[in-house]
Amino acid sequence: MLGWALTFLVAVLFAAPLGFSGVVGVQATIAQVMFFVFLALAVGTMLRRIARGKRPF
């Protein structure tokens, strides 16, 4: 999921200078949502592993 977020971020960085403002806004929002979903899943997994007595990483 982090890979998809980075892909959308790179697409935003290429589309912004070309003037595709509508596309840039949508892609930036998608990248941001995917990043926060990835972050929530990563923290949830880490906390679950800690609760089970395993190493978090």
Domain ranges of the chain: 2-51
pTM as predicted = 0.75
12, 35 Cβ separation under 8 angstroms: no
In this prediction, residue 5 has a pLDDT band, given cuts at 50, 70 and 90, of: confident
**Average pLDDT, stretch 6-32?**
89
In this prediction, residue 1 has a pLDDT band, given cuts at 50, 70 and 90, of: confident
**Average pLDDT, stretch 20-49?**
93
Average model confidence (pLDDT) across the chain: 90
Q: Is the pLDDT of residue 57 over 80?
A: no
Identity at 54, one-letter amino acid code: K
Instruction: Decide: residue 26, CB within 10 A, 0-12 exposed, 13-18 middle, 19+ buried.
Output: middle
